[in-house]
Amino acid sequence: MKESINKFGKRKFWSYWILTATVGWSLKIADLGLIKQWKVRSMTELPTMLLLSTIGGLIGGLVIGLGQQRVLQRLETKESHDWWWKTVIGYGLLAPIGIGIITLITWISTTTRGDMFLPYSQTMSISLYPIYLFYGGIILGIMQWSGLRNIIGKRGWKEAFLWILGIWTSIGFGIIAGLLTTGSVFHMYDRSVWKYLLEHAVTGIVYGVVSGAIFLMLYNRSANRRE
């Protein structure tokens, strides 16, 4: 049964939306094997890291995509059937793109200085976590916008810019909030599962709040145009 946001209830919307985002991001613990080895010292290590972090992204993306899709199906939205799989793709590509960007930046900076790059350098390493989440986060915004523009019936560049930039920055602020939160609870060098889980849960909460707020704003604008 389709409902307006008022009938569905904003409190219920926020609860479902943020809970889904938090659980989905928390499932990044699926790449558990990487917790203590987020530094690449050899190019041969990259495939394993890419594989495990991509699996974690796909699992989290599936939970978030299906959860948010369920919320969208309760609202008076149109063309929402592709939201879930575009979200899954966005989360799945987040790690490969983020890690690829970091590797490229490191390669450019080291070769510009005339230094040796992996695997020829025995002393250098590439730190991936958590910055790869930010670099790769833009693809999530792009993929979700490709589904959102059909839902709200608006395809202008302003709306696209707002959504993509909002999702991207929400991940950045979420990472910072997660690090600050765990920094006040755990030891600085602690890489336990619980610290890793809390960092991602906080990132999920921030992402859920920001994405939910932007969605409601664009959705309400779309609803007002239809009235």
- Full DSSP string of 173-194: HHHHHHHHHHHHHS-TT---HH
Sign of CA dihedral 179, 97, 18, 27: negative
Give the structural domain span for 91: 5-226
DSSP bridge pairs for 39 = 127
For position 47, what pLDDT does the model report? Answer: 81
User: How does residue 60 score in pLDDT terms, banded at 50, 70 and 90?
Assistant: very high
**Residue 117 carries which DSSP code?**
P
CA–CA separation, 116 and 67 (whole Å): 46
Which of 193, 207, 205, 179 minimizes the C-alpha distance to 29? 193
Contact 140, 191 (CB under 8 A): no
Note the pLDDT of residue 44: 73
Answer whether residue 117 shows pLDDT above 80: no
Average pLDDT over residues 3-8: 58
The two tokens of residue 13 are: 């919307």
Per-residue model confidence (pLDDT) at position 142: 95
- pLDDT band (50, 70, 90) for residue 121: very low
pLDDT score of 95 = 87
HSE, side-chain direction, 13 A CA sphere, residue 219: 21
State the pLDDT at residue 120. Answer: 47
Q: Look at the chain and report how many structural domains it folds into.
A: 1
Helical residues (DSSP H) of 75-156, grouped into ranges:
83-112, 131-152
Q: Which two tokens stand for residue 93?
A: 């590509």
Q: Is the pLDDT of residue 109 over 80?
A: no
pLDDT-derived band of residue 1, with 50, 70 and 90 as boundaries? very low
Helices 10-26 and 46-74 cross at an angle (nearest 10°) of: 170
pLDDT tens digits, residue range 126-181? 777 778 888 899 999 999 999 898 888 766 889 999 999 999 999 999 999 998 99
How much of the chain, in percent, has pLDDT values that exceed 90?
A: 39
**Mean pLDDT rounded to a whole number for the chain:** 82
CA–chain centroid gap for 116, Å, is 32
CB of 117 closer than 8 Å to CB of 106: yes
| Each residue's pLDDT tens digit, 11-48 | 888 999 999 999 999 988 777 656 556 777 667 777 87
As a whole number, mean pLDDT of residues 91-119 equals 79
Q: Which residue has the higher pLDDT, 69 or 5?
A: 69
**Beta-carbon count within 10 A of 11 CB:** 8
How much is the pTM? 0.85
- Residues 92-101: what's their mean pLDDT? 90
Are 168 and 137 in contact by the 8 Å Cβ rule? The answer is yes
At 78 the three-state DSSP class reads coil
CB neighbours of residue 79 within 10 Å: 14
**CA separation, residue 70 to residues 64, 101, 120 (Å):** 10, 33, 50
Which residues is 209 bridged to in the sheet? Answer: none
Q: Which of the two residues, 124 and 151, has the higher pLDDT score?
A: 151
